[in-house]
Amino acid sequence: MRSFVLGAFLALALAGLGVFWWQGRAEVEQGAPPPMVQEPVANPTVLPSVDVTDLQGPAPPEASELTREQRRFFRYDRNRDLRITRNEMLSTRTDAFRKLDKDGNNLLTFEEWAVATVGKFEGADVDGDNSLTQREFATTAPKPAKRKPACRC
């Protein structure tokens, strides 16, 4: 019984909030300026001319310096709402997925996934005997990440 009453109260609160929002939008639209009416051009073949020697446009906006973490955050936050959704987080992985999805059906089968591994194996198997020696296998190791030297300030 309590959940029913609570649900009814929340529904009324949301409806009231919607009415206030709707009326606020109507006031904004009533206060909007009327649309501009353009005057008809007497001779459309003659281009208008204006003296712009004393005019100056607005200054361009200055770019703010972002920290490294802010740049990394905005790389994922595509719509700039200061929140990263699951889809935004996964969007950086779609190119790698599309490279593996050979038939383009958005399903990654084992065979499609194995193509990368088979290619790596065939590239490492220099003598072509379908087996890797220790020396050949060592070429498949991931490259170590390049470390930046520590700042010596």
pLDDT in the model for residue 69: 83
Residue 137 counted as domain residue: yes
The reply to whether 110 and 135 lie within a common domain is yes
Residue 42 counted as domain residue: no
Residue 77 counted as domain residue: yes
Residue 8 counted as domain residue: no
Residue 75 counted as domain residue: yes
pLDDT in the model for residue 91: 78
The number of helix segments (H) and strand segments (E) in the chain equals: 6, 0
**Residues 126 and 138: beta-carbon distance below 8 Å:** no
pLDDT in the model for residue 39: 66
Count of domains observed in the chain: 2
The Cα angle at residue 127 between residues 124 and 128, in degrees rounded to 5: 80
pLDDT per residue, tens digit, the chain (153 aa), is 888 888 988 888 888 878 776 666 656 666 666 666 666 656 667 766 777 788 888 888 777 787 888 888 888 888 888 888 888 877 777 878 888 888 888 888 888 888 777 888 888 888 888 888 888 888 888 777 777 777 776
Residue 126 counted as domain residue: yes
Residue 114 counted as domain residue: yes
Give 72-98 as a 3 state SS string: HHHHHCCCCCCCCCHHHHHHHHHHHHH
Domain with 69, as residue range(s), is 65-93
pLDDT in the model for residue 87: 82
Rg (CA), the chain: 31
CB burial of 131-141 (b: ≥16 within 10 Å; e: otherwise) equals ebeeebeeeee
Residue 46 counted as domain residue: no
pLDDT in the model for residue 67: 82
The reply to whether 111 and 83 lie within a common domain is no
DSSP state of 35: P
| pTM for the structure as a whole | 0.32
Q: How far is CA 113 from the centre of its chain?
A: 26
